[in-house]
Amino acid sequence: MAQKKSFLLRINPKLYEVLEKWAADEFRSVNAHIEFLLRDAAVRSGRLGNKDIKASQETGGNDLEQLSPEEPGAINDNTSKM
């Protein structure tokens, strides 16, 4: 599996509380949920496409598989309620 990039993120405490609750509602860690939200935004903006997702899956990376239970790259309308 591909190594993940680590970095420090400074975030407003109130926003972190929102993300913490939201992540718990989705049965994710805060870190995994932030990554999910960023990935979803990248897909929606056209900066991360299906070929990028499939390439990650072929190399054994499973971190892009959470986009949708139906098919990779599908948009889940539940994430648009920010």
User: What is the pLDDT confidence band of residue 53, given thresholds at 50, 70 and 90?
Assistant: low
The full set of domain ranges for the chain reads: 13-77
- Mean pLDDT rounded to a whole number for the chain: 77
Q: How far apart are CA 36 and CA 79, in angstroms?
A: 9
Least confident window among 7-16, 37-46, 50-59, 71-80: 71-80
Helices 13-25 and 30-44: crossing angle in degrees, nearest 10, is 90
This prediction's pTM? 0.61
